[in-house]
């Protein structure tokens, strides 16, 4: 019952964002939240040097950057710049990747016994 009430109250937000297109709304929300997760996952799989601190700060920084773009778009759509949300997702992915790599390279690496080779 509670979820139904929240969904009904959320209808004006969906209508205001992305001109009422539910599919565009869902895609824009996921494009603000998913790129940091994808970036950390791919870097952790393919680079041994990525460590826990790099992954943590990459996720926190990516989430903060995504929220800084998402909240104004839904609260005040006229404030958001003209970058399409899918282009912003690409920018967010690369910014998160750079942040993960910078933090990982500035902190001690994971001990070799904890890293497995595939």
pLDDT digits (tens, 9 = 90+) for 45-88: 998 889 999 999 999 999 999 988 888 876 766 666 678 888 99
What one-character DSSP code corresponds to residue 114? G
Domain residue ranges of the chain, discontinuous segments joined by +: 51-70+82-107
| pLDDT > 90? residue 20 | no
DSSP element (H, E) containing 2: helix 2-16
Alpha carbon distance 42, 94 (integer Å): 12
| pLDDT > 90? residue 7 | no
How many angstroms separate the Cα of 80 from the Cα of each of 12, 22, 70?
18, 19, 9
Split at pLDDT 50, 70, 90, the class of 111 is confident
Q: What is the pLDDT of residue 16?
A: 66
Q: What is the pLDDT of residue 65?
A: 93
């Amino acid at each position: 019952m509670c979820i139904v009430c929240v969904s009904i109250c959320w209808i004006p937000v969906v209508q205001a964002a992305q001109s009422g297109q539910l599919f565009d709304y869902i895609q824009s929300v996921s494009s603000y939240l998913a790129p940091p997760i994808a970036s950390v996952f791919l870097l952790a799989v393919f680079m041994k040097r990525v460590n826990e601190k790099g992954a943590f700060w990459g996720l926190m920084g990516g989430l903060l950057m995504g929220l800084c773009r998402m909240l104004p778009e839904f609260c005040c759509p006229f404030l958001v710049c003209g970058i399409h949300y899918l282009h912003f997702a690409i920018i967010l992915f690369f910014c998160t990747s750079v942040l993960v790599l910078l933090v990982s390279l500035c902190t001690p690496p994971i001990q070799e016994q904890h890293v497995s080779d595939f």
